[in-house]
């Protein structure tokens, strides 16, 4: 199927699941890492506006290519090193992977004057995996309080990449914990509206557990070629 057909099918699934679990405004983030601009152009023509990139330089180049289209929304969804914060602060609209205060401070300091505040999600390592970025759940509120004080950032919510599980019941253990954390964050801060969790294999369970944004890549664009990637 074409990218436009893939997007239509995924949107239909999101709408069906949203109705089933009584959820509203679940957004699709098309994960375009390693994909050429031609594929993104096809997605844009099909109505997709929000794209996720994992590699800073690759993302910056794509943003520059599409800079005439002001209605697009670019999310950085990969781990971020301190020496790359300036590029993310200057070019992206969102970062979903903030997991330490130093990174948040640099992003705020380096956000260009005149640009809207950078939208921020705190990444939670909800399955406590050594191989993954993110903070422990108990560190969420202290970090959120610090981020909320930074002038050029806007705290919007949480992001997680739970450990892969095949059974929905198992998926919902970690996803349900994220829902609880998100609800708690909403009681403490204004403007918390985004819970980014759920990919192709756990999208249904994620929406059931309150996800407001699912991150889908291969099901939109097809298999990735990791032979060409830019850090």
CA distance 118 to 126: 24
Span 13-58, pLDDT tens digits: 999 999 999 999 999 999 999 999 999 999 999 999 999 999 999 9
CA distance 198 to 226: 22
Count CA within 13 A, CB hemisphere, residue 211: 29
pLDDT at 131: 86
Residue 112 has pLDDT above 70, yes or no: yes
Residue 178 has pLDDT above 60, yes or no: yes
Percent of the chain scoring above 70 in pLDDT: 97
Residue 172 has pLDDT above 90, yes or no: yes
DSSP string for 169-192: HHHHHHHHHHHHHHHHHHHHSTT-
pLDDT class of 227 with cuts at 50, 70, 90: low
Average pLDDT for residues 81-103, to the nearest whole number? 97
Return phi, psi of residue 215, to 5°: -110, 110
């Amino acid at each position: 199927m074409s990218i436009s057909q893939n997007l239509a099918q995924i949107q239909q699934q999101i709408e069906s699941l949203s109705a089933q679990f009584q959820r509203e405004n679940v957004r699709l983030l098309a994960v375009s890492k390693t994909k050429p601009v031609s594929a993104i152009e096809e997605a844009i023509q099909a109505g997709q506006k929000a794209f996720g990139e994992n590699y800073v330089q690759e993302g910056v180049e794509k943003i520059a290519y599409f800079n005439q289209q002001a209605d697009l929304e670019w999310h950085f969804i990969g781990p971020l090193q301190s020496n790359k914060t300036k590029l993310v602060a200057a070019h992206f609209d969102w970062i979903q992977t903030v997991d330490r205060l130093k990174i948040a401070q640099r992003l705020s300091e380096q956000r260009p004057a005149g640009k809207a505040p950078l939208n921020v999600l705190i990444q939670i390592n909800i399955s406590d995996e050594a191989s993954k970025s993110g903070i422990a759940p108990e560190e969420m509120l202290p970090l959120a309080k610090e981020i909320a004080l930074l002038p050029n950032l806007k705290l919007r919510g949480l992001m997680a990449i739970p450990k892969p599980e095949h059974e929905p019941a198992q998926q919902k253990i970690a996803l349900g914990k994220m829902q609880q954390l998100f609800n708690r964050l909403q009681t403490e801060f204004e403007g918390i509206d985004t819970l980014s969790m759920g990919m192709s294999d756990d999208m249904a369970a994620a929406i059931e557990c309150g996800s407001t944004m699912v991150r889908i890549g291969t099901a939109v664009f097809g298999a990735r070629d990791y032979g060409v990637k830019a850090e």
